[in-house]
Structure 1
Protein backbone atom coordinates (compact mmCIF):
# COMPACT_ATOMS: atom_id res chain seq x y z
CA UNK A 1 0.00 0.00 0.00
CA UNK A 2 1.38 3.39 -0.93
CA UNK A 3 0.87 6.46 1.14
CA UNK A 4 1.02 10.01 -0.06
CA UNK A 5 2.17 12.76 2.27
CA UNK A 6 0.41 16.07 1.86
CA UNK A 7 2.80 18.96 2.29
CA UNK A 8 0.39 21.83 1.78
CA UNK A 9 -3.26 21.88 2.72
CA UNK A 10 -5.92 23.19 0.34
CA UNK A 11 -7.06 26.71 1.13
CA UNK A 12 -10.37 28.38 0.35
CA UNK A 13 -10.28 30.63 -2.67
CA UNK A 14 -11.85 34.04 -2.32
CA UNK A 15 -13.12 35.56 -5.52
CA UNK A 16 -13.16 39.34 -5.43
CA UNK A 17 -15.89 40.79 -7.61
CA UNK A 18 -15.21 44.33 -8.70
CA UNK A 19 -17.77 46.70 -10.07
CA UNK A 20 -17.50 50.39 -10.42
CA UNK A 21 -21.14 50.98 -9.41
CA UNK A 22 -23.58 49.83 -6.75
CA UNK A 23 -25.69 46.85 -7.85
CA UNK A 24 -28.87 48.81 -7.09
CA UNK A 25 -29.80 52.41 -6.41
CA UNK A 26 -30.63 53.72 -2.95
CA UNK A 27 -34.40 53.72 -3.51
CA UNK A 28 -34.65 50.38 -5.37
CA UNK A 29 -36.85 48.84 -2.70
CA UNK A 30 -38.83 46.90 -5.31
CA UNK A 31 -35.72 44.81 -6.01
CA UNK A 32 -36.19 43.05 -2.66
CA UNK A 33 -39.53 43.93 -1.08
CA UNK A 34 -39.35 41.57 1.94
CA UNK A 35 -35.94 42.99 2.89
CA UNK A 36 -37.18 46.57 2.65
CA UNK A 37 -40.32 45.75 4.66
CA UNK A 38 -38.14 44.24 7.38
CA UNK A 39 -35.98 47.39 7.40
CA UNK A 40 -39.06 49.62 7.55
CA UNK A 41 -40.84 47.77 10.36
CA UNK A 42 -37.82 46.86 12.48
CA UNK A 43 -34.90 49.02 11.43
CA UNK A 44 -32.64 48.41 14.48
CA UNK A 45 -32.88 44.62 14.03
CA UNK A 46 -32.30 44.89 10.29
CA UNK A 47 -29.21 47.09 10.70
CA UNK A 48 -27.75 44.78 13.35
CA UNK A 49 -28.30 41.64 11.26
CA UNK A 50 -26.80 43.30 8.17
CA UNK A 51 -23.75 44.36 10.19
CA UNK A 52 -23.29 40.81 11.51
CA UNK A 53 -23.51 39.37 7.98
CA UNK A 54 -20.85 41.87 6.91
CA UNK A 55 -18.55 40.47 9.58
CA UNK A 56 -18.75 43.16 12.22
CA UNK A 57 -20.11 43.29 15.77
CA UNK A 58 -23.86 42.58 15.92
CA UNK A 59 -24.69 45.58 18.12
CA UNK A 60 -22.56 48.16 16.29
CA UNK A 61 -25.50 50.00 14.61
CA UNK A 62 -27.03 50.63 18.02
CA UNK A 63 -24.26 53.18 18.57
CA UNK A 64 -25.77 55.33 15.80
CA UNK A 65 -29.22 55.05 17.33
CA UNK A 66 -28.09 55.85 20.86
CA UNK A 67 -25.91 58.82 19.90
CA UNK A 68 -28.58 60.70 18.00
CA UNK A 69 -25.85 62.30 15.88
CA UNK A 70 -26.70 64.11 12.68
CA UNK A 71 -24.23 62.02 10.67
CA UNK A 72 -24.32 58.39 11.86
CA UNK A 73 -20.69 57.27 12.13
CA UNK A 74 -21.33 53.51 12.01
CA UNK A 75 -23.59 53.62 8.94
CA UNK A 76 -21.17 55.92 7.14
CA UNK A 77 -18.13 53.79 7.96
CA UNK A 78 -19.95 50.63 6.87
CA UNK A 79 -20.88 52.25 3.56
CA UNK A 80 -17.31 53.46 2.96
CA UNK A 81 -15.92 50.05 3.92
CA UNK A 82 -18.31 48.29 1.55
CA UNK A 83 -17.36 50.61 -1.30
CA UNK A 84 -13.69 49.81 -0.74
CA UNK A 85 -14.27 46.05 -0.33
CA UNK A 86 -16.28 45.76 -3.55
CA UNK A 87 -14.43 48.40 -5.59
CA UNK A 88 -17.43 50.72 -5.93
CA UNK A 89 -16.79 54.29 -7.00
CA UNK A 90 -18.01 57.10 -4.81
CA UNK A 91 -16.97 59.80 -2.40
CA UNK A 92 -17.14 60.21 1.34
CA UNK A 93 -19.17 63.37 0.79
CA UNK A 94 -21.84 61.37 -1.08
CA UNK A 95 -21.75 58.69 1.63
CA UNK A 96 -22.22 61.38 4.29
CA UNK A 97 -25.25 62.88 2.54
CA UNK A 98 -26.84 59.48 1.90
CA UNK A 99 -26.37 58.20 5.45
CA UNK A 100 -27.69 61.45 6.92
CA UNK A 101 -30.89 61.71 4.91
CA UNK A 102 -31.66 58.14 3.74
CA UNK A 103 -30.47 55.89 6.56
CA UNK A 104 -32.90 52.93 6.15
CA UNK A 105 -32.52 53.08 2.38
CA UNK A 106 -28.70 52.89 2.46
CA UNK A 107 -28.86 49.93 4.87
CA UNK A 108 -31.18 48.18 2.40
CA UNK A 109 -28.82 49.05 -0.45
CA UNK A 110 -25.86 47.62 1.46
CA UNK A 111 -27.81 44.44 2.30
CA UNK A 112 -28.81 44.00 -1.37
CA UNK A 113 -25.19 44.51 -2.40
CA UNK A 114 -23.97 41.84 0.02
CA UNK A 115 -26.71 39.46 -1.12
CA UNK A 116 -25.87 40.05 -4.79
CA UNK A 117 -22.14 39.57 -4.30
CA UNK A 118 -22.39 36.60 -1.95
CA UNK A 119 -19.88 33.98 -3.05
CA UNK A 120 -20.09 30.73 -1.10
CA UNK A 121 -16.80 29.34 0.16
CA UNK A 122 -16.50 25.60 -0.20
CA UNK A 123 -14.14 23.89 2.22
CA UNK A 124 -13.05 20.34 1.54
CA UNK A 125 -13.26 18.13 4.59
CA UNK A 126 -10.23 15.88 4.99
CA UNK A 127 -9.47 13.14 7.46
CA UNK A 128 -6.26 12.41 9.30
CA UNK A 129 -4.56 9.15 8.63
CA UNK A 130 -1.98 7.96 11.09
CA UNK A 131 1.17 6.36 9.73
CA UNK A 132 1.88 4.20 12.76
Structure 2
Protein backbone atom coordinates (compact mmCIF):
# COMPACT_ATOMS: atom_id res chain seq x y z
CA UNK A 1 0.00 0.00 0.00
CA UNK A 2 1.47 3.34 -1.04
CA UNK A 3 0.93 6.39 1.10
CA UNK A 4 1.11 9.88 -0.21
CA UNK A 5 2.91 12.44 1.90
CA UNK A 6 2.39 16.11 1.18
CA UNK A 7 4.88 18.55 2.60
CA UNK A 8 4.34 22.28 2.48
CA UNK A 9 7.28 24.58 2.90
CA UNK A 10 7.14 27.07 5.74
CA UNK A 11 6.19 30.53 4.59
CA UNK A 12 7.49 33.68 6.24
CA UNK A 13 4.84 35.63 8.10
CA UNK A 14 5.56 39.32 8.41
CA UNK A 15 3.95 41.66 10.88
CA UNK A 16 3.85 45.18 9.52
CA UNK A 17 4.00 48.03 11.97
CA UNK A 18 2.54 51.10 10.36
CA UNK A 19 3.45 54.51 11.66
CA UNK A 20 3.98 57.77 9.91
CA UNK A 21 6.06 59.21 12.74
CA UNK A 22 9.53 58.56 14.09
CA UNK A 23 9.41 56.12 16.99
CA UNK A 24 11.47 58.51 19.10
CA UNK A 25 12.36 62.18 19.06
CA UNK A 26 15.64 63.59 17.87
CA UNK A 27 16.79 64.18 21.48
CA UNK A 28 15.41 61.02 23.14
CA UNK A 29 18.87 59.83 24.16
CA UNK A 30 17.67 58.52 27.51
CA UNK A 31 16.01 55.60 25.71
CA UNK A 32 19.45 54.07 25.16
CA UNK A 33 22.15 55.96 27.05
CA UNK A 34 25.12 53.68 26.19
CA UNK A 35 24.32 53.91 22.48
CA UNK A 36 23.98 57.68 22.61
CA UNK A 37 27.25 58.02 24.53
CA UNK A 38 28.94 55.92 21.86
CA UNK A 39 27.44 58.16 19.16
CA UNK A 40 28.46 61.35 20.97
CA UNK A 41 32.05 60.36 21.78
CA UNK A 42 32.79 58.44 18.57
CA UNK A 43 30.21 59.49 15.98
CA UNK A 44 32.18 58.22 12.94
CA UNK A 45 32.39 54.70 14.42
CA UNK A 46 28.73 54.72 15.46
CA UNK A 47 27.65 56.05 12.05
CA UNK A 48 29.61 53.28 10.28
CA UNK A 49 28.01 50.62 12.51
CA UNK A 50 24.51 52.02 11.93
CA UNK A 51 25.11 52.32 8.19
CA UNK A 52 26.16 48.66 8.04
CA UNK A 53 23.11 47.60 10.10
CA UNK A 54 20.91 49.52 7.66
CA UNK A 55 22.36 47.57 4.75
CA UNK A 56 24.62 50.27 3.34
CA UNK A 57 28.42 50.10 2.97
CA UNK A 58 30.26 50.13 6.30
CA UNK A 59 32.53 53.11 5.58
CA UNK A 60 29.96 55.24 3.73
CA UNK A 61 29.62 57.80 6.59
CA UNK A 62 33.37 58.43 6.50
CA UNK A 63 32.84 60.29 3.21
CA UNK A 64 31.31 63.13 5.22
CA UNK A 65 34.79 64.24 6.20
CA UNK A 66 34.92 65.89 2.79
CA UNK A 67 31.43 67.44 3.11
CA UNK A 68 30.51 71.00 3.84
CA UNK A 69 28.08 72.43 6.37
CA UNK A 70 25.38 69.80 5.85
CA UNK A 71 26.63 66.21 6.24
CA UNK A 72 25.43 64.63 2.96
CA UNK A 73 25.58 60.99 4.04
CA UNK A 74 23.72 61.59 7.32
CA UNK A 75 21.03 63.55 5.52
CA UNK A 76 20.64 61.02 2.70
CA UNK A 77 20.45 58.10 5.15
CA UNK A 78 17.76 59.94 7.14
CA UNK A 79 15.79 60.63 3.95
CA UNK A 80 16.20 57.00 2.87
CA UNK A 81 14.98 55.76 6.24
CA UNK A 82 11.95 58.06 6.12
CA UNK A 83 11.05 56.69 2.70
CA UNK A 84 11.69 53.05 3.62
CA UNK A 85 9.52 53.22 6.74
CA UNK A 86 6.94 55.71 5.43
CA UNK A 87 7.75 58.38 8.03
CA UNK A 88 6.39 61.86 7.44
CA UNK A 89 8.89 64.69 7.22
CA UNK A 90 10.54 67.12 4.87
CA UNK A 91 13.90 67.44 3.25
CA UNK A 92 14.32 70.76 5.06
CA UNK A 93 13.90 69.03 8.45
CA UNK A 94 16.36 66.32 7.45
CA UNK A 95 18.85 68.97 6.38
CA UNK A 96 18.42 71.00 9.58
CA UNK A 97 18.71 68.02 11.95
CA UNK A 98 21.69 66.59 10.06
CA UNK A 99 23.53 69.92 10.16
CA UNK A 100 22.76 70.78 13.80
CA UNK A 101 23.14 67.46 15.59
CA UNK A 102 24.66 64.66 13.56
CA UNK A 103 25.11 62.37 16.57
CA UNK A 104 21.45 62.73 17.55
CA UNK A 105 20.33 61.89 14.01
CA UNK A 106 22.42 58.70 13.95
CA UNK A 107 21.05 57.69 17.37
CA UNK A 108 17.48 58.31 16.22
CA UNK A 109 18.02 56.24 13.07
CA UNK A 110 19.53 53.39 15.09
CA UNK A 111 16.56 53.39 17.51
CA UNK A 112 14.16 53.43 14.57
CA UNK A 113 15.78 50.41 12.94
CA UNK A 114 15.53 48.47 16.20
CA UNK A 115 11.88 49.47 16.63
CA UNK A 116 10.86 48.59 13.12
CA UNK A 117 12.69 45.30 12.88
CA UNK A 118 10.04 43.11 11.27
CA UNK A 119 10.09 39.63 12.79
CA UNK A 120 9.70 36.65 10.47
CA UNK A 121 7.95 33.66 11.98
CA UNK A 122 8.33 30.33 10.21
CA UNK A 123 5.30 28.04 10.21
CA UNK A 124 5.99 24.32 10.74
CA UNK A 125 5.30 21.87 7.90
CA UNK A 126 2.39 19.49 8.45
CA UNK A 127 2.08 15.91 7.33
CA UNK A 128 -1.28 15.18 5.71
- TM tier, smaller: 0.7 to 0.9
Contact 1:99 1:106 in 2 (8 A): yes
- Is 1:77 paired with 2:80? no
By percentage of residues, which structure has more strand?
Answer: 2
Correspondence for 1:54: 54
Distance 2:13 2:57 in 1: 24
TM-score (norm 1): 0.82
- Which consecutive segments of 4 or more residues in structure 1 shift more than 3 A? 3-6, 8-11, 13-16, 122-126
Match runs of 1:1-132 below 5 Å: 1-4=2-5, 9-64=9-64, 66-122=65-121
Structure-2 change in CA distance of 1:15 and 1:73 (3 Å): farther
TM-score (norm 2): 0.84
Q: CA RMSD, aligned part only? A: 2.1
- List per-residue Cα deviations over 1:101-131 (Å, max 9, x = no partner): 11100100010111111223345799xxxxx
Q: What stretches of structure 2 of length at least 5 have no aligned partner? A: none
- Paired residues in the alignment total 124
Contact 1:20 1:89 in 2 (8 A): yes
Contact 1:12 1:122 in 2 (8 A): yes
- List per-residue Cα deviations over 1:63-97 (Å, max 9, x = no partner): 11x21321111111110111111111100011011
Higher relative contact order (CA 8 A, sep 6+): 2
Indicate the SS of the match to 2:32. helix
Structure-2 change in CA distance of 1:74 and 1:14 (3 Å): farther
